[in-house]
Amino acid sequence: MNFLIISILVIGYLIGSIHGSKIAQYLSGINIKKEGLKNSGASNAAVVLGIKYGILVAVIDILKGVLVVIGARFWMQENAIFTVVEQDILLYLAGSAVILGHNFPIYTKFKGGKGTATLIGVLFAISWPLGLTGLLLLIGTTLLTDYLLIGVFVFYFVFLGTSIWFAEGYAPIAIAGFLFVMALILHIENFQRLMRKEEMKISTFLKRKKSPV
């Protein structure tokens, strides 16, 4: 059983390492890791290549979170050897594995994205009503404040709250807390730009002309 659990985590990490930005690079001929904010996330794809590419990268990165968690759930249902607490722990571990793969892919010297889109997919797979609620709050907060960064962390609070109120046991809470702290660290530069009033506003981005590619 331990070997199978490790296999799920390794597979989750490897799937997480597959970036939507690579598809965008193939289609556009531009490596977004060398442009704009110099990361492979959906927001940087939108900044560098335009909103259509940003959506493409976001969808791919969301789907891999969904795929890994649903795959882990299906595997547990097929084996039927886990308690409810163990099932929640494994789902959260699988989700964290795919996010770690996204953030620190081995084939790019552990320099990837920041995990938000993949986390959205993970929460959708754990509970689609809560995932939808979090996504709507992310969009609403972003539009209300004019900053994606604030919307992102509203979503992280939703994920953390979901873990506290609905997950079984303390391990999912600890995993959600770890992902939250990791997100804070990865977004330090964004917070610094926000304090200097240099963080890009959504309204500014939406006023840009269409993608140059």
Q: What is the mean pLDDT of residues 205-213?
A: 55
Range of the domain at 89: 2-206
Residue 194: CA atoms inside 13 Å, Cβ hemisphere, count? Answer: 12
Q: Which amino acid is at 124?
A: F
Question: Looking at the domain assignment, is residue 213 inside a domain?
Answer: no
Question: Looking at the domain assignment, is residue 211 inside a domain?
Answer: no
Least confident of 46-50, 76-80, 137-141: 76-80
Question: Looking at the domain assignment, is residue 192 inside a domain?
Answer: yes
Question: Looking at the domain assignment, is residue 86 inside a domain?
Answer: yes
Query: Is-contact 85 95, C-beta < 8 A?
Result: no
> Which one has a higher pLDDT value, 7 or 182?
182
The domain total for the chain is 1
Query: Is-contact 62 132, C-beta < 8 A?
Result: no
Question: Looking at the domain assignment, is residue 172 inside a domain?
Answer: yes
Q: How far is Cα 35 from Cα 32, in angstroms, rounded to an integer?
A: 5
How many distinct helices (H) and strands (E) make up the chain?
11, 0
Q: Give pLDDT, residue 141.
A: 97
Q: How far is Cα 21 from Cα 79, in angstroms, rounded to an integer?
A: 35
Question: Looking at the domain assignment, is residue 212 inside a domain?
Answer: no
* pTM value > 0.85: yes
Q: pLDDT digit string (tens) for 85-139? A: 888 999 999 999 999 999 999 887 888 889 999 999 999 999 999 999 999 999 9
Query: Is-contact 21 33, C-beta < 8 A?
Result: yes
Q: How far is Cα 60 from Cα 45, in angstroms, rounded to an integer?
A: 12
Question: Looking at the domain assignment, is residue 106 inside a domain?
Answer: yes
Question: Looking at the domain assignment, is residue 70 inside a domain?
Answer: yes
Give the other-Cβ count within 10 Å of 168's Cβ: 13
